[in-house]
Amino acid sequence: MRGWIAAIAAIASSAPARAQSAIKLPITAGFWTNADQKCATARYGYIFDGSRWGSVYYYGPTGNLGPAAELQPITQTRVVEDGFTQMQFGGYDGAGYFRVKATGPDRALYRVGAPFREEMQVMDDPLIRCSYQAMSPKMKAAMRRFAPALAK
């Protein structure tokens, strides 16, 4: 009986370590926002912290509410066509996808594919990486809250 308890404890304690291991993406960890935004005034963007990807944003009519974040652990990555790396979340790899590729220093292209009726709708967003120092005090606070290791 003790052997089973020890084995279960070992498996349970190793699962979070695997989930938090660094993920290989072709971009640098940090805060990324749409290329048409300015880092000092951006109210939304994406965080890649080495193991998670997702959006962080302020909401409301004037962007005065929040911050909120929707970060998901990346469980796998793989290189796909056109130089993109596809991210998989939670062990699910369905018809839709999330992909990213570097297009220059602190520049990337984020591609989302979503099934719609009989076709795949694809949306590309050019992104820029914002240094922590260049961000607004509000986004710095969001980084400290949701990705404290990147708040430097």
In the chain, the number of structural domains is 1
CATH of the domain at 89: 2.40.128
Strands 119-130 and 65-79, sheet pairing = unpaired
pLDDT higher than 80, residue 18: no
pLDDT higher than 90, residue 52: yes
Q: What is the largest CA-CA distance in the chain?
A: 61
What does the pLDDT look like over 65-93, one tens digit per residue? 999 999 999 999 999 999 999 999 987 66
Q: What is the mean pLDDT of residues 57-71?
A: 94
pTM of the model: 0.82
Nearest CA among 41, 148, 36, 23 for reference residue 98: 23
pLDDT for position 137: 96
Nearest CA among 71, 62, 72, 101 for reference residue 85: 101
pLDDT for position 15: 41
Number of C-beta neighbours around residue 82 at 10 A? 9
pLDDT higher than 60, residue 61: yes
Residue 61, domain extent:
2-150
Nearest CA among 99, 103, 109 for reference residue 77: 99
83: tokens are 């130089």
Nearest CA among 91, 89, 87, 69 for reference residue 143: 69
pLDDT for position 2: 37
DSSP 88-134: EETTB--S-EEEEEEEETTEEEEEEEEEETTEEEEEEEEEEEEPGGG
**Which amino acid belongs to residue 125?**
D
What does the pLDDT look like over 107-147, one tens digit per residue? 999 999 999 988 999 999 999 999 999 999 999 999 999 99
DSSP type of residue 149: G
Number of residues in the chain: 152
**Which amino acid belongs to residue 26?**
P
